[in-house]
Amino acid sequence: MIILFLSIITTLIIAAVVMILASLLAKKTIMDREKNSPFECGFDPKGSARLPFSLRFFLIAVIFLIFDVEITLLLPLATILHLSNLSTWAFTGLFFILILLLGLYHEWNQGALEWAY
């Protein structure tokens, strides 16, 4: 028990020392106007470097990623069919799909899937 405690303390101390050293060594002390400005082929930029970003597009992309990961979680169900009980397999698959459909309904009901305002 003492060995476990000492190893945890040692690991935390080493991690803290590495993080402190990294933050001290990575500091930029020279603030140059040219280095902080956006680079546009050597010329001064004509417009703003910060372009407005569509929040709707971002939300649709996040929802797509969430459902994509959930579909990836569904794929192993096909491979374990012969290894498990059919009723357990069907219940698990249907329960997971039901959760997916409830999430989709919630997103639709909240208006997150509407592209135009």
What is the length of the chain?
A: 117
Can you give the pTM of this predicted structure?
0.48
4 three-class SS: helix
- All structural domains of the chain with their residue ranges: 2-110
- pLDDT value of position 32: 64
- CATH architecture assigned to 2-110: Up-down Bundle (1.20)
Reading the chain (117 residues) residue by residue, the pLDDT tens digits are 889 999 999 999 999 999 999 888 876 656 666 666 666 566 666 666 667 777 778 888 888 888 888 888 888 888 888 888 889 889 988 998 899 889 889 988 988 777 765
Rounded to whole angstroms, the Cα distance separating 74 from 96 reads 8
Rounded to whole angstroms, the Cα distance separating 99 from 71 reads 12
Distances from the Cα of 35 to the Cα of 30, 40, 99, 103, 116, angstroms: 10, 12, 49, 45, 39
